[in-house]
Amino acid sequence: MARSKMIPIDEAVARVESGMTLALGGFLSQGVPLTLIRALKARPVRDLVVYSNDGGFGDDGVVELVKAGMVRELHCCHIGYTPDVGRAVESGALDLVWVPQGNLIEMFRCGGAGLGGFLTPVGVGTAVEEGHEHVTADGRTYLWEKSVRADVAFVRAHAGDLVGNLCYRGTARNYNTTVATCADYVIAEVEHAYSVGELDPEKVHTPGVFVDAVVRAAVSPRGPASTPGGQRAEAEGAAAPPDDRCVIAARAARELADGQVTNLGAGIPMLVANYIPAGVDVVIQAENGIAGVGHVSPPGTEDPDRRNAGNLFVTLLPGGCYFDTATSFAMIRGGHVAATMLGTLQVDGDGNIANYEMPGRMIGMGGAMDLVAGARTVYVLTEHCAKDGSPKLIRRCTLPLTGAAECDVIITERAFFRRRPGGGFVLEEVACGHTLEEVAACTEMAYSVAGDVRLDAYGAV
């Protein structure tokens, strides 16, 4: 009879001591080991170094440990949903280390596989490259990134048996499968516990070999019961008359080809799905581990384990599927994503993009750095000017870069620019109600005008 790994939760979290490195599974409020996190809060532990996708969601997740004064250093890619984490960084109570999402999951994967590190093109030419060795292979520059081997890891699974075999559900798989391999002591909280032999071996995602202890999940990490109204309006487009965002999204949708795999970022890009032309089938992929994303789930039909990378409840189209975050970024970095569309704070004439941090506001790059480095075509969808009227298409980005010379196309409510193979943008289209002179007056970056530039090329939808 196999030895049972099911133990009391207090005994499990007692393995975590001050100064240790803790790796966490989960993605925003998807598959987050909240039961273990809250049990750990009762321990007299300080100075933890935590590796996690994010700072949590609202008041749940890593932010709970930060507010309790237990975390000295946080390595993650996004804190945009947890203002308390940002305040802890600003006050000096917490050291924050930005890590691109795909690099983070690969650090976990290599740590679990016994590898010292890996070469990645992600972050070259940005602040991420600071302190990293540069390596050139086959004419491309890479950064040497060290792997992560944690002292303890917390993961959450939909089901598990007494010997630690685990299976996950929907997008709650995300980081959990990989984090479960990369620590000296791995604790899994499970929603449903089974006796040995009751789990179908074909459905086991994490073999019990990797798991040291199993506890019963007592807290739901599933967030609100429905998509908040503001987020729903953002994803669907407000019912009010079409605004500039819809104009941009509708023009961008015309760029998508039948059968393309596409990743749509938060904000304006999320609206593109609403304007994909009839007869064009596009596979929308999201970083958290889902392909075949449909529309926002209608009220009352939400599945808590089916969300996109913005944490919105979504539908899954026929032929869609789920996978873990490591697989998701193999798609992205491996060139399987034909197009990525993302918003920006700044973009310049060299194709540099800055979209994750500005003075007084820390958000994080999420998977954007990986996407601009790996997608075959990178589209920036943005209002032409900032809220204060200043240009967003500027001579040189002054904010931290998401990608260096990665932007291929810029689409605004006023104009459409395409970058030439040799460098420099060409104005190909001017939107309805706007003129060449107006575009020139509100565009700081250098560009040329196509000889066959199209006027009144797109507009209200």
Active-site annotation holds for 287: yes
Q: For the chain, what is the HEC assignment? A: CCCCCECCHHHHHCCCCCCCEEEECCECCECCCHHHHHHHCCCCCCCEEEECCECCECCECHHHHHHCCCEEEEEECECCCCHHHHHHHHHCCCEEEECCHHHHHHHHHHHHCCCCEEEECCCCCCHHHCCCCEEEECCEEEEEEECCCEEEEEEEEEEEECCCCEECCHHHCCCHHHHCCCEEEEEEEEEEEECCCCCCHHHCCECHHHCCEEEECCCCCCCCCCCCHHHHHHHHCCCCCCCHHHHHHHHHHCCCCCCCEEEECCCHHHHHHHHCCCCCCCEEEECCCEEEEEEECCCCCCCCCCECCCCCEEEEEEEEEECCHHHHHHHHHCCCCCEEEECCCEEECCCCEECCEECCEECCCCCHHHHHHHCCEEEEECCCECCCCCECEECCCCCCCCECCCCCEEECCCEEEEECCCCCEEEEEECCCCCHHHHHHCCCCCEEEEEEEECCCCCCC
What order of strands is seen across the sheet that includes strand 283-286? 314-322, 290-296, 283-286, 261-264, 339-342, 377-381, 409-411, 415-419, 425-430, 447-454
Which residue in 180, 151, 204 sits closest to 45, CA to CA?
Answer: 151
Pick the catalytic residue: 64, 287, 302, 406?
A: 287
Q: Which residues are known to be catalytic? A: 287
